[in-house]
Structure 1
Amino acid sequence: MPHTETTALVVIDMINTYEHEDAELLLPSVREALPGVRRLITQARDIGVDVIYVNDNFGRWRSHHDEILEIATAGPHADLVEPIKPDEDSLFVVKARHSIFFQTPLEYLLGEQRIGRLVLCGQVTEQCVLYSALDAHIRHMPTTVVRDAVAHIHPDLAEAALRMMEHNMGTQICAAVEAPLHA
């Protein structure tokens, strides 16, 4: 994939019903991260940066993004989905495992869109965000993780994951106001 200076914002697993194990531990952190995620999405849309939602399919093998969004916005935590839901220009990739790259068409999509830099936000810091940053690193793709726009289940593991991403993978860690979004 050619590396260009084009950047995309990747929103990981934020279209969610929160009806899963560890959801009660995750929800307070999602509420804290939501303003940062909203800020990033708004900024990206305002300056013409691609917003790519990469989301778990929750085992619904016939699902597509409209179905996933409909189920999440009809659920008990729709207030966490409504403010950050995809618009008509958003791109959407469905995933089944932790990494945004694992057995998804994301790498192909990034090549087609000539995207060479990623800014990651979403959930879960110590799981999907960490594994996605590692897979971006393996692909030699410059990546930023926005500290105040990622949610965690376990605060200590999230801090360790952020340190690992920064020190072991060269991932830039910053606040939403500092995120390097540019078209």
Structure 2
Amino acid sequence: MKKKIDTIVGKAALLIIDVTKGSLLPPEKTPIPIFDAQTAVDNIGKVLETARQAGIPVIFFQELHRVDLIDFGRELEGVEDIHCLEGSEDVEFLDYLKPARGEYAIGKRRYSCFFSTDLNILLKGLKVETLLVTGFLTDVCVHYTCADAHQHDYYVRVLHDCVRGSSPEAHQASLNAIEYLQTASKTNSSEIIALLEQRVTV
């Protein structure tokens, strides 16, 4: 029988992936609609507040592309149209959900938060072992970030009520794929808030 793994192993960091003003646009106004995004954003806000009280590192991410489209690569050969252009309001952090002093913000040109960024260097410097993953899209940036995190030997914990995908079906399929890699990856905001609150009171 496999040994049960704790939800949070060692030091944790909260990842907030691509939660920007464009995330909450209605389907007719965005090339990448997200189902039920507001619910996830509300839950992320609650987790963020507790994470700050617990003093764990918080890392925000923005997918950013140059306006001349030079860095899209093969990205526009899928379903997605042009999106996340630098300088547009869409890529700005929400006024009520953005980095505070001492927190981190990383821009990325690709889906994975690890690909061609300094995330792994930052996590090693912070001595983080467990990643608390929130944000968008479950079936794209969240999924690929978790796969890379797994291959870098981090413990991955996806807060299921703090992520949303391009559809309920795609969302669930990616959660299943992540759980296949790490069976302890499934969690939610209530569980994580309770565990972080314990750290505040200890």
- If the length of structure 2 is used for normalisation, what is the TM-score? 0.74
Q: 1:97-124 CA deviation, whole Å, 9 max, x = no partner?
A: 0001001000001111111110000100
User: Partner residue of 2:157?
Assistant: 144
Q: What's the counterpart of residue 43 of structure 2? A: 36
Say whether the 8 Å CA contact 1:17–1:71 is kept in structure 2.
no
- Unaligned stretches of 5+ in structure 2? 1-8, 24-28, 69-83
Structure 1 residue 81: deviation in Å? 1.2
Q: Distance in 2 between matches of 1:115 and 1:20?
A: 35
Unpaired runs of 5+ residues, structure 1, are 62-67
Residues of 2 paired with 1:136 and 1:126: CA distance? 15
Q: Quick check: 2:18–2:60 contact (8 Å CA) kept in 1?
A: yes
Residue by residue over 1:67-93, the C-alpha shift from the partner in whole angstroms, topping out at 9 and shown as x without a partner, is x9x967xx4898x81221111121111
Identify the residue that residue 99 of structure 1 maps to in structure 2: 112
Q: What amino acid maps onto 2:164 in structure 1?
A: A
Q: How has the CA–CA distance of structure 1 residues 161 and 133 changed in structure 2, closer, same or farther, with 3 Å as cutoff?
A: same
Whichever residue aligns with residue 11 of structure 1, its letter is I
| Equivalent residue number for residue 9 of structure 1 | 14
Cα distance in structure 1, aligned partners of 2:109 and 2:183: 26
Identity over aligned pairs, percent? 24
Q: Specify the alignment match of 2:166 in structure 1.
A: 153
Helix, strand or coil at the partner of 1:11: strand
Query: How far apart in 2 are the matches of 1:87 and 1:144?
Result: 23
Amino acid of the residue matched to residue 175 of structure 2?
A: L
Query: In 1, Cα distance between the equivalents of 2:121 and 2:90?
Result: 35
Question: Contact 2:41–2:162 at 8 Å: present in 1 too?
Answer: yes
Computing the radius of gyration from Cα coordinates, the structure with the larger value is: 2
User: How many correspondences in the alignment?
Assistant: 167
Q: Give the Cα separation in 2 of the matches to 1:113 and 1:60.
A: 33
Deviation at 1:147, TM superposition (A): 0.5
Alpha-carbon distance, 1:154 to partner: 1.2
